Amino acid sequence: MSSVDIVSEAYSVWPRGGSAYPAALEDLTFPPEQLFALGDPATLDVPRVAIVGTRDATGYGLRVTRAIAGELARAGVCIISGMARGVDAAAHRAALDVGGRTVAVMGTGIDVPYPVGHRELHELLSRRGMVLSEYGPGVRAHKGAFPRRNRIIAALAPVTIVVEAGERSGANNTADHALDLGRCLAAVPGPIDSRQSAGTNKLIRDGAHVIATVGDALTLAGVGPPPRVRDAELGAEESRVLQALAEGGLDLDTLAARSSLPVRECMAAVTALEIQGMIECLLTGEVRRR
């Protein structure tokens, strides 16, 4: 194929050797011969971090994913993931929610959302971020496609963060590719009796960097904290939560009582504040101001 990028009405084709083809993919033993792309190629022209994890994420995993992805995106980092259910989708949405950059690498054809329920997310990513695939239009999910997809995710990002993963999972496959490529690998610790954290805890035991706070992710990405949102820009619930934390950290139940909010509304406010970098949730369950 010619080294000149091909553009159709809906997507671009980036042949290996072309101007748009990501140089990082040349580190792979078998780089894709071409990539199909939807969206703005400039999405990749910033620091990049891959965030991956289980489709069967816990509430803890989703909350941590939103906080890490949102803070990184606000700091100017592009979030790379695979658009799967659970951690992947949460990472993409958190980046989009703060107006940041994010790229989904597909294991299906460029125009085939997978899972089908993520059709809307696929459309959002193609308009406000990017969708990449080594498969052309119409290619359906097939055996071996997603492990091949995972190598591209790992190659595109200098840092891969695994939030939750079982002992045998696609996220661990991405982690293996990251290690093989000499990329930085990090993981979020979880309860030792949680099957969703069995894989991540094992990665940490075997030498992966520990993500104990959102700040750890920023450090690994080589970026500073993003500008803080002014208190005047906060919603009423978020302001109440922030005020309740003025004298120190609290567990969620105490925080809900101190802020006079139902637990569900308190959790929503905590998530919003965490994405904005104003508070952090520790592994102990304590919520505190940053």
Q: Is residue 36 part of a domain?
A: yes
Q: Does 1 score more than 90 pLDDT?
A: no
Q: Is 24 helix (H, G, I), strand (E, B) or coil?
A: helix
Q: Are 20 and 7 in contact (CB under 8 A)?
A: no
Q: Are 151 and 32 in contact (CB under 8 A)?
A: no
pLDDT at residue number 27: 97
pLDDT at residue number 4: 39
Q: Are 54 and 152 in contact (CB under 8 A)?
A: no
Indicate if 54 and 125 belong to the same structural domain. Answer: yes
Q: What is the mean pLDDT of residues 204-209?
A: 96
Q: Is 34 helix (H, G, I), strand (E, B) or coil?
A: strand
Q: What is the mean pLDDT of residues 59-88?
A: 95
Q: Which residues face 280 on adjacent strands?
A: 288
pLDDT at residue number 143: 85
N-term to C-term CA, the chain:
52
Indicate if 76 and 149 belong to the same structural domain. Answer: yes
List phi, psi (to 5°) of 5.
-65, 140
Of 8-17, 80-89, 260-269, highest mean pLDDT? 80-89
Q: What is the pLDDT of residues 84-141, one digit of tens each?
A: 999 999 999 999 988 999 999 999 999 999 999 999 999 999 999 999 999 999 999 8
Q: Tell me what the pLDDT averaged over the chain comes to.
A: 90
Q: Are 269 and 234 in contact (CB under 8 A)?
A: no
**Distance separating alpha carbons of residues 193 and 81, to the nearest angstrom:** 26
Q: Does 232 score more than 80 pLDDT?
A: no
Structural domain including 267 reads: 231-289
Q: Is residue 226 part of a domain?
A: no
Q: Is residue 49 part of a domain?
A: yes
Indicate if 215 and 238 belong to the same structural domain. Answer: no
Given 221, 242, 263, the domain boundary residue is 221
**What CATH code is carried by the domain that includes residue 278?**
1.10.10.10
Question: CA angle, corner 131, sides to 130 and 135, nearest 5?
Answer: 150
Q: Does 2 score more than 80 pLDDT?
A: no
**For residue 3, what pLDDT band results from cuts at 50, 70 and 90?**
very low
DSSP string, 190-201: --TT-GGGHHHH
Residue 33, Cβ density class (10 Å: 0-12 exposed, 13-18 middle, ≥19 buried) = exposed
Query: Which tokens is 159 given?
Result: 């840092």
Residue % of the chain over a pLDDT of 90: 72
Structural domain total, the chain = 2
Q: Which residues face 133 on adjacent strands?
A: 36
Question: CA angle, corner 251, sides to 246 and 252, nearest 5?
Answer: 95
Indicate if 10 and 101 belong to the same structural domain. Answer: yes
pLDDT at residue number 10: 81
pLDDT at residue number 89: 97
Indicate if 113 and 249 belong to the same structural domain. Answer: no
**For residue 6, what pLDDT band results from cuts at 50, 70 and 90?**
very low
